[in-house]
A and B are shown apart, each in its own frame.
Chain A
């Protein structure tokens, strides 16, 4: 009997193995079942609330009636602003890691920092957003230009910047995977005809990595849209009587006002379910809001996962 086989006959050992493996399978099924239970529960509680009015109207009557349009609008504006900041930074960082850094100590330290950033508690980002963006950067700008209190207060700009740092690791990791998938032979072919590194990047590597970068962007947006803790002190509002928009002077064009506060879906779920004067009465609204938020993040995540699977498969085929 070798040291790694168990005691007893082959049959008994096989049956025991089946049993143990069945336990693992069952646990996994239960875990995925938890996802179904969670989504099913939210959907069952919220689908009746979702009407056209709910999606397009503002809260009314002290938040006990009406819709959640300002929260939907705030969530979308915030994540758009966030991804505009995070995507260029994340993609550049990934390009450095994959194309320039090599495999030495520097790249190992950077990778460790990226992983570590991904593990920073989300509430710490909230503290950082307040301490760095609002009080240091914002108040600093105000003081330098004598603006009174314009930048140094909670606003969508600072919330988006805080979230951008939070989703940076998501984008870096996804982009790196996409860059890694571009065959080295293609880079070498381009170098052989005299292209510089930048030309190789711009004309060979980046065009092929586009799908992967897009996946990273979607995953980042989904992550950012669901975060609450970093927004608590950086600009999220319980209720705003107006949308965070501003009219460009002398034109009929309205744009998102990044200096305004905003309402946001996940914060709305949090505040309505814990701080409301009448939690039972507003419960349908919270369920409806939760369903909208879950649908948004779920669809984006699903889309990104399916898209990634497709291009991974295409890459595998191209390699063969």
Chain B
């Protein structure tokens, strides 16, 4: 059976057309695919871009402060004592006065007096919670407790601040006979509520990343479960646990609303945890809304923000390094 030649020609034309169509479609698909790849590559760098933008725009305003204010004044200034009328070196934060005083020392001391106790306390509690979740709790118990911790982490900080302000602070004042109702201790406690879940989750991750063989080895040597936790798992997961503490400390330094509401906001240099203090974050929150844009104090506040950002950035990077080192060690 032979085909009509004319029909055969039509046939091949149709086939060629179809081929052309397929090639064109393929080309279009390739182009879309290429575009998509470029688009996602750009999106992928967003986090880096934003981190850089944050730093650039803090520095843009903050570095002007270094020109306007002598750097020494960020530590302290020589002023005349009102009572003795003698000059003395004071470290005070008093931006609204005839000669503004911009010492960052009381603010940094205040931040430290909240963040360090909070990290120690949350470290102990978070470690216990992490150990419980990773090693002690049965699967079913963990599935109830873990969401509980996640929900605690999700409570807005302003709620924690408000609740402490109206119902916990007075109780604590009575218990500890503190002279001030709102003080660094209350702040540290509030901040702990926020960072305990963070630390607990990271400790749990660190412990669960340890291979089962290591536990079994310890049991084979006759260790009880607690001895395994205490002498094998905690030392093995030490880097992960320290990363958890570093990150917790970063969060504690950056916490704003709770410390703004419950630490009393008195900018003094003190090591008494029951005194009212003022943190860097609370200073920014309380003052930046009030100052004129482009004024000296405005630039100084951005400088404070820059210092705060730099500290938390370094802490976060350190934790990142520690965690990645741990991962490499455990996969080897």
| B222 CB–A CB distance under 8 Å | yes
**In angstroms, how far is the closest chain B Cβ from the Cβ of A14?**
6
| A177 CB–B CB distance under 8 Å | no
Q: A119-B250, A127-B305, A270-B261 are in contact. Are A294 and B156 (CB under 8 A)?
A: yes
CB pair B254 A121 closer than 8 Å: yes
CA distance A169 to B247 in the complex (A): 15
CB pair A226 B51 closer than 8 Å: no
| A97 CB–B CB distance under 8 Å | yes
> Which of the segments A33-41, A48-56, A61-69 contacts the partner chain?
A33-41
Binding site for A on B (CB under 8 A): 29-30, 32-33, 36-37, 39-41, 43-48, 50-51, 53-54, 57-58, 60-61, 125, 128-129, 131-133, 136-137, 143, 145, 147-152, 154-163, 165-167, 193, 196, 200, 218, 221-232, 247, 250-251, 253-257, 260-261, 281, 284-285, 288-289, 293, 301-302, 305, 308-309, 312-313, 315-317, 320, 324
- Residues on B with C-beta less than 8 A from A132 are 53-54, 57
User: Contacting A28 at CB < 8 Å: which of B41, B128, B193?
Assistant: B128
A35 closest partner in B (C-beta): B152
Q: A122-B256, A270-B158, A290-B162 are in contact. Are A298 and B288 (CB under 8 A)?
A: no
A sample of 28 cross-chain residue pairs with beta-carbon separation below 8 angstroms, ordered by A number, consists of A17-B226, A24-B131, A31-B129, A41-B167, A45-B166, A45-B167, A89-B43, A92-B46, A100-B41, A110-B48, A119-B315, A119-B316, A121-B256, A121-B308, A122-B257, A123-B256, A123-B281, A124-B312, A168-B50, A172-B47, A196-B29, A229-B257, A269-B158, A274-B261, A286-B166, A297-B155, A298-B154, A301-B150
CA distance A97 to B57 in the complex (A): 26
**In angstroms, how far is the closest chain B Cβ from the Cβ of A158?**
13
B48 closest partner in A (C-beta): A113
CA distance A109 to B41 in the complex (A): 14
- Residues on A with C-beta less than 8 A from B317 are 112, 116
CB pair A228 B289 closer than 8 Å: no
A200 closest partner in B (C-beta): B33
The prevalent SS among residues of A at the interface is helix
CB pair B302 A305 closer than 8 Å: no
**In angstroms, how far is the closest chain B Cβ from the Cβ of A106?**
8
Question: Residue-by-residue, is A254-275 near B (CB-CB < 8 Å gives 1, otherwise 0)?
Answer: 0000000000001101100110
